[in-house]
Amino acid sequence: MEEKEFAYFRKRLSKTQKEMARLFGASVKAIQGYEQGWRSVPVHIERQLLFLTAIATRENKAVKPCWVVKKCPIDRRKKCPAWEFQAGKICWFINGTICEGKVQKDWSEKMKICRTCEVFAFLLPH
């Protein structure tokens, strides 16, 4: 996650840097570092920030489950944790999903795919 994106999500949640620090159990300096780009946003912070944003915007009923968007066949759905937990609107949050026909090896690889998917796109600036 890049610094501008981190700041965008913080503002979208209407939180100050101090409130974000408390929310993530981090220092205000760490939050400032994420927004200034001199500190990388750890994966666990990125995931929590995206998850909280999704919860705050969950009224967006236009978002379809990933298996509908990606037209996944039933045999693939049955192997995918997004289907198992009926979490097709937050599939990007769940590791081990079967995106593009295979499980991605890590969060970074997964998010490259997710950032181009319409299921995730509702979180991003329009």
SS3 annotation, 67-107: HHHCCCCHHHHHHCHHHHCCCCCCHHHCCCCEECCEECCCH
Q: What is the pLDDT of residue 9?
A: 93
Q: What is the pLDDT of residue 61?
A: 63
Greater pLDDT, 10 or 61: 10
Q: What is the pLDDT of residue 41?
A: 94
What is the mean pLDDT of the segment spanning 58-74? 82
pLDDT, tens only, 4-43: 999 999 999 999 999 999 999 999 999 999 999 999 999 9
Crossing angle of the two packed helices 3-12 and 28-36, in degrees rounded to 10: 120
| Confidence band, pLDDT 50/70/90 cuts, at residue 120 | confident
- Each domain of the chain, given as residue ranges in start order, spans 3-56, 66-121
Alpha carbon separation from 33 to 3, 4, 17, 26 (Å, rounded) = 8, 11, 10, 11
Assign domain 3-56 to a CATH class.
mainly alpha
| Confidence band, pLDDT 50/70/90 cuts, at residue 75 | very high
